[in-house]
Chains A and B, each alone.
Chain A
């Protein structure tokens, strides 16, 4: 079993829908949780960052962490075609900067249909 599990998709939804992306993990030492967005043939870029449990909201994006269930989520409201990308969850036990590297999920390919 990999440390971080993420459904690779593809996940296809109509424009304007609410999107829910999820990851589960097995390492209880993880405390820092990130969501990266990656467009085709580009490098990952940070979308959301959360420390420990709880919610964090930024515009149309909400990140949730439930450490008791070892489960993290990213919600996208009013989804737009420009949100079509691969979304990667990433985690670290040590810091947001991941001094010894981040552990990534495989990524979920999201398609927003106009």
Chain B
């Protein structure tokens, strides 16, 4: 039971390059989320998705693009990476928006933009 996985786990890139972070979950959860975690800011929501082909902006969406063609995958793309996007990125999923459910997090991708 793999749960929720992210790849790559570590990535170093240069300013201006396009980078795609992958997220895959095996639970068939409807909802998926991307957060970034920075010292002094905690976890902040970038984008979320309620189902395949349905996405919406979170608190800090600028500079990021998402897609969700399949329920189990939710890739996050930095179209032109900037140093301010150096961060740890976490993907999460939840089955339903019910009162008894919660979000389950992946192991994270540590991205450095030089």
Binding site for B on A (CB under 8 A): 6, 8, 32, 34, 36, 41-46, 49, 51, 88, 90, 94-102, 104-107
Contact = CB atoms under 8 A, between A and B. Distances in A.
Main secondary structure of the interface of A (DSSP, over half): loop
12 contacts: A34-B102, A36-B105, A41-B108, A49-B102, A96-B98, A96-B100, A96-B101, A98-B31, A98-B33, A106-B40, A106-B42, A107-B42
A99 B31 contact: yes
A77 to B, nearest CB: 23
Interface residues of B, number: 31
Contacts of B33: 98, 101
Contacts of B98: 95-97
B90 A44 contact: yes
Nearest to A94: B97
Contacts of B56: 100
